[in-house]
Amino acid sequence: MTTSFILNGKKVEVTAASDANLLWTLRERLQLTGTKYGCGASFCGTCTVHLEGKPIKACVTPLSAVEGKEVLTIEGLSENRSHPLQIAWIEEQVPQCGYCHSGQIMQAAALLKANPNPSREEILSHMNAVLCRCGTYPRIMKAIEKTIQNT
């Protein structure tokens, strides 16, 4: 089965099995390894990417669901880590192990695109979709709030 979609601003065509999911297509076929595998069951959010501007879990998204649509991965957020969230993540030394942070950043980017000035409660509610096993939640909040203040 061949699927065509816009990936990080460029049209791609991928031939894969009919039961292929987006996560493994990104990682194995397209060599975009910034999107991580966490649980494989849509619980942890480590695999968060944007589909048509909305955060989704790539591990449970069939490749067929992205046909003709726009997908944005962490690699497409900026070419050189210049996105305000990426800058804040570095400045606030957010990652401990760093494994979940592509999902964290993509989740936060979707929130700030939809709501450039969310309340702390809105941030907490939205970010609950991505788990951090290291517990860097206070630094994640600090980086998001810094991004809001600087934009």
**The CATH number fitting domain 84-150, selected from 1.10.150.120, 2.60.40.10, 3.40.50.300, 3.40.50.1820:** 1.10.150.120
Does this chain's domain 2-76 share its CATH topology with 84-150? Answer: no
CATH architecture of 2-76: Roll (3.10)
In this prediction, residue 6 carries a pLDDT of 98
Query: How many CB atoms neighbour CB 6 within 10 A?
Result: 16
Tell me if 143 sits within 8 A of 91, measured CB to CB. yes
Closest CA to 70 of 2, 3, 7, 27: 7
74: its two tokens? 């962490």
Q: Would you give the distance in Å from CA 6 to the centre of its chain?
A: 16
Per run of 10 residues, the mean pLDDT along the chain (length 151 residues) is 97 94 97 96 97 98 97 95 95 92 97 97 97 94 96 84
In this prediction, residue 103 carries a pLDDT of 97
58: its two tokens? 């790539």
- Give the orientation angle of helix 101-114 with respect to helix 120-127, to 10 degrees: 130
CA distance 54 to 71: 9
Q: Where are the domains of the chain?
A: 2-76, 84-150
54: its two tokens? 């909305």
Q: The pTM is what?
A: 0.95
The residues near 105 (Cβ < 8 Å, ≥ 6 apart) are 74, 77, 83, 85, 86, 89
